[in-house]
Chains A and B, each alone.
Chain A
Amino acid sequence: MKILTLTTTLALAGTAAAATYPLTLTDDLNRKVTVKAEPMRIISMVPSTSETLCALNVCDRLVGVDAYSDFPAQLSKVPKMGDLYTPNIEAMVAAKPDLVLVSKYGKVSESLAQAGITVFALNPETYDEVFSKLLTLGKLVNREAAAKALVTTMARDIAKTEVLTRAAVTKPTAYFEIDPTPYSIGPKSFMGVLLTKAGARNIIPESMGDFPKVDPEFIVKANPQLMLGLDAKTAAARPGWANLSAVKAGRVISLPAELSSSLSRPGPRLPAALRSLARLIHPELFR
């Protein structure tokens, strides 16, 4: 599937009309940023952005990435420049980038902007933003057609899984833990949308927000049939959780590391992540 995506992308990229520079776009910090010419030396400080750039076939333009950018494998050769909260500004300036991509969080943009480097903040948070921000990124690096093609492929692959899960006879109520303190995901967050698309009913109501800290007793009251993101032993050891439906039925599933990372990154691997998630929730549909 990945190879198919890539070839489609490449085929379409060849026919794309070139963007006109200088190009002015509004970023996620609400600043109007002007990119003077097609960026050829890019630093990406957000893992999903690095991934998307590679999917748009401009991986070789990356002269620096953040410490967490670990996919695809070829990024391991790109110099690491800290992360959004402890950035290695000196290394970043020394790499002479013509574009640095950051998120609206962290403290990278100001010091770099002072050094006269073009900084663009871009971080998708809702499901729709995953696609709209991907298109913006495509525009920025002059790969607009490739970005459109990637979005189309992603939407198609997501729809394929959705068709499968729609056929599910029962949809379990589910609790998805992203952090053991515990934090979960709301139905409006991009992860929450994927959880629903994977054929589960999220126990977290919309009113609790996108990534809420959850009161343990709320989870006991909701008594989910399925728990994702923690292991069975941890769940059973928590006060009052041993008798919950999911724990008793052995439906507590800790996500494989690769799935948990691809699922949490709003980038080109989301369709594949959705498929793996749906397979965990509804193995019967994938026989």
Chain B
Amino acid sequence: MSTGTPSGAAQRLRRGARRWPRTLGLALLLVVAVILGTGLGSVTIAPGDVLGALWRGVSGQELAGSDVIVWSIRLPRVVMGVLVGAALSMCGASFQGVFRNPLADPYLLGVASGSALGATVAIVLDWPRAAIPVAALVCALGAVALTLILAREGRRFPPTRLILSGVVVGSVLSAASTALILRGQDRARLVLAYTLGDLGFSGWRDVLTVLPYVALGGAALLLLARALDTLQLGDLTARSLGVPVERLRLLVVVAASVATAGAVAYVGIIGFVGLIVPHIARLAFGAGHRTLLLTSAVLGGAGLVLADLLARTTALSQVGIVTTLLGGPFFLYLLRRQRE
């Protein structure tokens, strides 16, 4: 802990200088992803027209023709992709840190199956669109609460018990969703699209609904980043360094669950982003959690926008299918590498 000393500051400055090109590259990647995501699609729009449409939208002029596609359909879809990709990747990085398990993902404690159950109830019962994320969020947090209650051992939350409880809660809730889907046959495809992850029909209002959850959860995780670093030394060492390990674990789980629940509220369950992106970020930018969370967020946002672009311009059709097709093999690679 040499943060306050001059030599520490100089060291950080030097390290910062070395990271400059990579940080720039990362920012560029996000910009390129947003531009490609906004310009390309089933209808191709020239870059000049994209900029014109953006300007007309910002300055409140009337939108017509391809302006509508850029401003009302693609841009909110792209922004939603950035938000969701960033949220899932940050949560994945935090979960991998807090459980010291490289294969942990944001859905580990039943968040995904909880929110899927909530969304399924809302969809099958034909509730208004605005109620879907609320139902998803309530059930997601309920699922995490249930997992925590089941995993609790006195005042402690041992990681293995947390993960096992999460798996069981997840399975039970998934079964409940499936039973509901089978009862509400005519809406089955709507629910299926949700469980496969789909960014289609994301509008500005949806973006604004999701934003606070992602921002709140993400900011909390960033504040906890230094403590997460200390936790990598092991529970005992962390405790002796004054880190309240159990409370930290609880805080990270709650913050990540809020962000994840917001992320999956409208677009459904997009697999593997939260699992894979943190690994890439760790390899490219190092394992310190503040950097890791930020780089994961940018990489995840850019990655999901590009995956969605691939989905809507090919027969793969849904972004969740793309991430699973790309992420699955990568996951198996990680698994093999870990065994060796």
Contact = CB atoms under 8 A, between A and B. Distances in A.
Contact of A220 (B68, B185, B190): B68
Given A220-B69, A221-B69, A240-B69, A181 B41 contact: no
A239 B72 contact: yes
Q: Is the interface of B mostly helix, strand, loop or mixed?
A: helix
B301 to A, nearest CB: 20
Interface in A165-222: 179-183, 213, 215-218, 220-221
A249 interface: no
Contacts of B129: 237
Interface residues of A, number: 19
Contact of A181 (B64, B77, B182, B198): B198
Interface string B181-208: 0100100011001000010111110000
A152 interface: no
A215 B42 contact: yes
A217 B42 contact: yes
Given A215-B200, A239-B203, A243-B68, A180 B190 contact: yes
Interface string A79-117: 000010010000000000000000000000000000000
A179 B189 CA distance: 8
Interface residues of B, number: 28
Contact of A221 (B43, B76, B77, B185): B43
B73 interface: yes
A203 B112 CA distance: 37
A220 B202 CA distance: 14
B43 A240 contact: no
Contact of B69 (A182, A217, A237): A217
B220 interface: no
Given A217-B73, A218-B43, A239 B204 contact: yes
A243 B62 CA distance: 10
B100 interface: no
Contacts of A77: none
B317 interface: yes
B312 interface: yes
Nearest to A218: B42
B63 interface: yes
Interface in A129-182: 179-182
Nearest to B71: A240
Given A218-B43, A239-B72, A240-B72, A213 B190 contact: no
8 pairs of A and B residues whose beta carbons are closest in the complex: A240-B72, A239-B203, A215-B42, A240-B73, A181-B193, A218-B42, A240-B68, A221-B43
